A and B are shown apart, each in its own frame.
Chain A
């Protein structure tokens, strides 16, 4: 599934660019569509009559300029919201981002989807055409097997007497009340992330709304015949996104449908449990070395999951900052972005802190130095690639003659690693991250770019020739993007000539010395 998604991402990136790839913005698209639904829903409410539901909707549908297209937009937005929500859930599941500290987001996301379905169901019942009749009677049949109503609600739909207005009032109330709860659920859904991106980029958002408006005009929504409780429901248009369960419900007893619903619900709710890797393979949360922490708050600012807080430094604070970073292991997803944000390299997941990276990169560079050849075996270019996306080359060892150094997330990369490579004589360094909106850890590429080019704390030092450093964004299936970026870097290196090589570039020792001086 992950491979399939990677190919779809690559195709969409090629067609729309990674900034406007709708697959990357599926969650934000749902929010934008919910806002469209809210606005169009309020408008449509003015025309709906509880005493004559079908007639009022039919009258509205008959008005091409003031009614039909708004109803079409309302309907198509609700359908698109289901698609976007499913894509979002599928991506989160396939990328293994549904467990651990992300469990709350997964579970609230499922509830959100359920509420969207229930709202859609009640919305279609409001129309009171044939589809509404089938949805209402099947729903009543399902609820009648539950021991919660004193009288079977199916009796309301046998035709013994006209459907009471109270039914349409309750249905309308549910159609409005459920979406009100959506706001609270969205807040809960994103409550564990910092700086949630709730809306897609404007060109994408307005393009999508424009498409739905065009669709509503060019392909107007229709209504089935009016509900008739004395006739078997014949052929009529149904909305697959909200009525998909009807063929199954009509074929199975109500008890079996509830059983199926319970099984599906349990399986989905338990995804965080069974999708999680075994405990011994789970990446450990970040830890803080309080001796190195300078209390600068950068890790606290950069953490995309609000897992870091600044607390009063315990014990003696003489000559040190009053505050020290503290990681909440329950909220930490082990993205390692804090390691990239910490200039003194005092925080990060065990084995992936800035110091650990420097130790690893020294051996990496040394092994290339040992190779015979021009430049003492030092490669002309090195690629640092994100393990998740990064063109899918992180595990290749080498790409187009350039050695590849894998990193779990671009945001985890400490800029000192780049510096060490350049000072060791590497002609240039290409860092390949995932496209920013597709970062598995949300903000890795964004912070890395600012550290390299915009002097964000833990910045790439000015003494490094920035022309020898390139940052490229590539999804897992975009090897061609990496190849193009590498080609561009090599051309630049050719213009600049060989890098000055320091015989003994040892940043860790320099850092230790600086720390000792401080």
Chain B
């Protein structure tokens, strides 16, 4: 084998080895998705809010504009009342927002999902989740409530939920605040149970 061929062979082998090494290295590159040592309060729950029915009567002109088969005199829409979520951390308000029901017609359950970053240590956490608005039209029908409707109302999230507790956070810990459907209350969860 001539000198040139040896060099070429060595280069060819080096390219193969280098490519393989690069492939393996890039296949398992170390990365820290969350570089800080902070902790997280994660608010995540699903709530069944109070359903209300809002009706209005169509005028004669409105009815005349509609095709024959769509001339319904009273039109009712159902929606779920929103809730206001307020979170105070060590006395400072960190979240204050109106949580609307899901879906284009706001007739799906409410979903809360928030991540709040906190320093490790003990913090005082206060959460209120309170219904906004009233349900006058629905109340008018109180006398007609059937068993299914009664069951649905029993599963509704209470008008007001609250949590007021000190929490100890360790670095990189995620503390979950969620709604307990059975106990109808907010509770804390973390790895190994409540923090």
Contact = CB atoms under 8 A, between A and B. Distances in A.
Interface residues of B, number: 43
A233 B34 contact: yes
A222 B29 CA distance: 11
Interface in A139-167: 147, 150-152, 154-155, 158-160
A16 B27 contact: no
Contacts of B27: 75-76, 79, 221, 239-241
Given A151-B111, A230-B191, A158 B31 contact: no
Interface string A1-36: 000000000000011100000000000000000000
Interface string A210-226: 01101100010110000
B177 to A, nearest CB: 10
Contacts of A134: 33
Interface stretch (B8-16, B68-76, B78-86, B135-143): B8-16
B172 A222 contact: no
Interface string B157-195: 000000000000000111110100000000001110000
Contact of B8 (A14, A155, A215): A14
Contacts of A83: 23
7 contacts: A147-B104, A158-B44, A160-B44, A233-B32, A237-B30, A240-B29, A246-B31
Residue with the highest number of chain A CB atoms closer than 10 Å, among B24, B30, B175: B24
Contacts of B40: 232
A402 interface: no
Nearest to A249: B33
Interface string A188-231: 00000000000000000000000110110001011000001111
Contacts of B134: none
A159 B33 contact: no
Given A79-B26, A154-B113, A160 B33 contact: no
Task: List the 3 closest A-B pairs by CB distance, nearest first.
Answer: A230-B191, A237-B28, A232-B34
Given A79-B23, A150-B103, A160-B44, A231 B28 contact: no
Nearest to B192: A230
A243 interface: yes
Nearest to B190: A230
Nearest to B195: A230
Given A15-B12, A155-B46, A159-B189, A230 B109 contact: no
Contacts of A228: 191
Given A16-B12, A215-B20, A219-B21, 10 more contacts: A14-B8, A79-B23, A150-B103, A151-B111, A159-B191, A160-B176, A211-B20, A222-B28, A228-B191, A240-B26
A159 B175 CA distance: 10
Contacts of A250: 33
Contacts of A80: 23
A235 interface: yes
Nearest to A144: B113
Given A15-B8, A76-B27, A240-B27, A233 B33 contact: yes
Interface in A442-475: none
A236 interface: yes
A492 B144 CA distance: 108
How big is the A interface, by class? 35 or more
Nearest to B28: A237
B153 interface: no
A234 interface: yes
A238 interface: yes
B173 A155 contact: no
A155 B31 contact: no
B123 interface: no
Contacts of A243: 31
B172 A231 contact: yes
Contact of A230 (B21, B30, B173): B173
Nearest to A78: B27
Contacts of A247: 31
A58 to B, nearest CB: 16
B88 to A, nearest CB: 22
B20 A230 contact: no
A158 B33 contact: no
B24 A235 contact: no
A15 B11 contact: yes
A509 to B, nearest CB: 50
Contacts of B39: 232
B31 A235 contact: yes
A155 B26 CA distance: 31
A445 to B, nearest CB: 24
Nearest to A229: B174
B108 interface: yes
A75 B19 CA distance: 15
A160 B12 contact: no
